[in-house]
Amino acid sequence: MTCKKGTYVKITKDFLKREHRLNTIPEVTSNTPLTGWVTGKLLKDSDLNKKAPIETITGRFVNGTVIEIEPSHSHTFGAYVPELAMVRETILREMWREDDV
Amino acid sequence: MFKIESDFDIEKLEKRKSEIIKRSTGLNYSEFETDGIGFNYEKMMGSTGYTFEDVMNIQKENMIGTTPLTELKNLTEYARKFSGDGYGAKILLKDEAANLSGSFKARRAAMSVHKAKQLGYKGVIAATSGNYGAAVAAMAAKYGLQCIIIQECFDSKGKAQPEILEKARACEAYGAEVIQLSVGPELFYTFLHLLDVTKFFNASLYSPYGILGIETLGYEIAKETKNEYGKFPELVIATNAGGGNLTGTARGLERAGAHNTEVYAASVNLRGLHMANDTHFNKKSFTTGHTGFGIPFAINPDRSDVPRSAARVLRYVDKYYVVNQGSVFFITETLAALEGMERGPAGNTSLAVAFRMAQKMRRDEIIVVQESEYSGAGKHHNAQLAFAKENGIELKFGDPLDEVPGSNIIFPKSGADLLLREIPLRHIQKTYLKRYLDTELKINDYIFLEQELRIDQDEIEILLKEVRDERKK
């Protein structure tokens, strides 16, 4: 057991199986389950990829598979986009240096 | 000991929907229903228990509203380079990023969460992948309420839209529980289920509380423009998705007496991308402010999470323009490069439309872009363009009207090439009327439709006839 009771984790579970999805949605979507991701504290010792119950910050008790231990946020401003630099050059040239155009 | 929450069943929830909505909104929507197809919209809007002064006071004490109305002098000057002599209207921006939580959505959240507190609910729930989640979470933090935000976030491969990840982070920063889902409209049933098990308040975007909260925005725009420039603006442009932004703003303008100010809707064109399609989900670069919400909600406002939506665009809109993704990114970059303001990008949809409209309006006329939103990691335009490239979207320069959503993003080669497409209101009105083709409409139905569509009975009959003829073909 690498993960003690009380550890903050992210779990995943299927909220709806494929066969229970609405029949009005595109097949490419209904061929997959409706999956959810929730975070909270482990209610018992567990491990990555194991099923375990958690308590969420609002006090709900949810079962799911542990997929991340102490999850954090790491989204960024993205890689350099040369096209965006070209957009900027256009704007600055047209605005301030129109005589050169 | 603890009791694990049970799974939900769509059929069972569907049967109990009206009971759950009634308990979770504090509103009995059946009170607003009238004979026939319609309902009493103004009665519903008057059912909040708040005066307009109450709204202003609640917002003020929560660091919401009275945001700066700033003249974008450089951006206006840039537009004038492409307009004829005497043309190039002034563009003003209401910097709504200055609100608590960084967007105009705080105005809506303030009223919903205040109502939840007043009615004694222990917590609030909202189904939103956007700024509204952060706004509700921030207000819940202020009022000491619990908060759950449900997001549509990942495709089935577990890949998320970066701007939605950023909203999740913001919600958690304000103490909310965030539930992230894969693609699909069954999010609504997850929402109903959670309302049911938690007994929390439904902080719907479409309740009268939420729309009343935006009326202050239109009101401020009218009053502040008049104070500074001696007249009401000729035009106000609102980025349109679910319709609340435009509806509330237009109602606020009217409240301030700006009856002649035109109100235009602006949406990003995502034609061809299906909102419930798992593979289309990460092919788009805008998760709100786009036609995938804007058009269906205009045509059928009551497809929302309450029985009767308070957001009803066709009652207020004068013209509807769509703009491509590349042009909104172009104008977002312009705002940073010429005005030193990093905002958006989705909130800048109306700014892109304003930039073009300004070129066709006289220099002494005034256009107000009625919102901005905070920018940051994930939701920055660079982040979204980098994400688009990762997902195989081609970035290029050319005619923005040639853009194919999901395949490419086309930037205008010059400010002169930022072009728009108008969606004639008549088309939207016709589609709205389609569901009544087989209904025998009575006089009170026509009165309701006249209010909904702002056209008279004769015109409604002409449109219905056209739709019938098209169906025969």
Among B158, B179, B208, identify where a domain stops. Answer: B208
A36 contact residues in B (CB cutoff 8 A): 179-182, 190
- Same domain? B329 vs B198: no
- Same domain? B197 vs B222: no
Beta-carbon separation of A21 and B184 below 8 A: yes
B337 contact residues in A (CB cutoff 8 A): 88, 91-92, 95
- Same domain? B214 vs B92: yes
Rg (CA), chain A: 23
- Same domain? B166 vs B226: no
- The yes-or-no verdict on residue B346 having pLDDT over 80 is yes
Q: What percent of chain B has pLDDT over 90?
A: 96
- Same domain? B388 vs B429: no
Average per-residue pLDDT in chain B? 96
pLDDT tier for residue B473 given thresholds of 50, 70 and 90: confident
- Same domain? B301 vs B318: yes
| Domain of B171, in residue numbers | 10-53+103-208
- The yes-or-no verdict on residue A100 having pLDDT over 60 is no
Beta-carbon separation of B274 and A26 below 8 A: yes
- Nearest-CA neighbor of B264 among B103, B428, B425? B425
Q: How far apart are CA B231 and CA B251, in angstroms?
A: 18
For chain B, positions 226-255, list CB contacts with chain A under 8 A: none
- Same domain? B226 vs B290: yes
Domain ranges of chain A: 1-72
Among B208, B243, B262, identify where a domain stops. Answer: B208
Distance from CA of B407 to the nearest CA of A (A): 16
Q: How far apart are CA A84 and CA B330, in angstroms?
A: 8
Amino acid of residue A19: E
Distance from CA of B191 to the nearest CA of A (A): 12
Residue B45 sits in a domain of what CATH number? 3.40.50.1100
3-state class of A4 per DSSP? coil
What is the β-pairing status of strands B90-94 and B69-71?
antiparallel
In a domain, B367, yes or no: yes
Res B3: pLDDT = 87
- Same domain? B263 vs B193: no
Beta-carbon separation of B338 and A91 below 8 A: yes
Of B148, B180, B337, the CB nearest to A58: B148
For chain B, positions 39-68, list CB contacts with chain A under 8 A: none
Of B4, B274, B386, the CB nearest to A81: B386
Distance from CA of A1 to the nearest CA of B (A): 22
Beta-carbon separation of A34 and B5 below 8 A: no
**Does residue A85 sit at the B interface (CB-CB below 8 Å)?**
no
List pLDDT tens digits, range B118-168.
Answer: 999 999 999 999 999 999 999 999 999 999 999 999 999 999 999 999 999
- Same domain? B343 vs B461: no
Distance from CA of B414 to the nearest CA of A (A): 7
Res A101: pLDDT = 47
Of A24, A34, A81, the CB nearest to B382: A81
- Same domain? B158 vs B204: yes
**Does residue B385 sit at the A interface (CB-CB below 8 Å)?**
yes
pLDDT tier for residue B461 given thresholds of 50, 70 and 90: very high
Beta-carbon separation of A61 and B177 below 8 A: no
Among B404, B422, B440, identify where a domain stops. Answer: B422
A79-85: long-range contacts, CB 8 A cutoff, minimum separation 24: A79/B386, A79/B389, A80/B386, A81/B382, A81/B385, A81/B386, A81/B389, A81/B395, A83/B385, A83/B395, A83/B396, A83/B397, A83/B411, A84/B329, A84/B333, A84/B381, A84/B382, A84/B385
pLDDT (mean) for B440-447: 96
- Same domain? B316 vs B184: no
Count Cβ–Cβ pairs < 8 Å, chain A vs chain B. Answer: 167
Distance from CA of B137 to the nearest CA of A (A): 12
Domain count, chain B: 3
Fold entry, domain A1-72 = SH3 type barrels. (2.30.30)
Amino acid of residue B160: A
Interface test mutation site (partner B, options A16, A18, A43, A56, max chain B beta carbons within 10 A): A16
A58 contact residues in B (CB cutoff 8 A): 123, 146-148, 177, 198
Interface test mutation site (partner B, options A65, A83, A92, max chain B beta carbons within 10 A): A83
What are the residues facing A64 on neighbouring strands?
A52
In a domain, B58, yes or no: no
- Same domain? B23 vs B137: yes
In a domain, B5, yes or no: no
Of A21, A57, A78, the CB nearest to B386: A78
- The yes-or-no verdict on residue B83 having pLDDT over 70 is yes
Res B5: pLDDT = 87
List pLDDT tens digits, range A17-67.
Answer: 999 999 999 999 999 999 999 999 999 999 999 999 999 999 999 999 999
Beta-carbon separation of B3 and A63 below 8 A: no
Handedness of CA A37, A39, A42, A43 (dihedral sign): negative
- The yes-or-no verdict on residue B405 having pLDDT over 60 is yes
ipTM of the shown complex = 0.95
Of B74, B180, B334, the CB nearest to A36: B180
List pLDDT tens digits, range B213-261.
Answer: 999 999 999 999 999 999 999 999 999 999 999 999 999 999 999 999 9
Q: Are A47 and B361 in contact (CB under 8 A)?
A: no
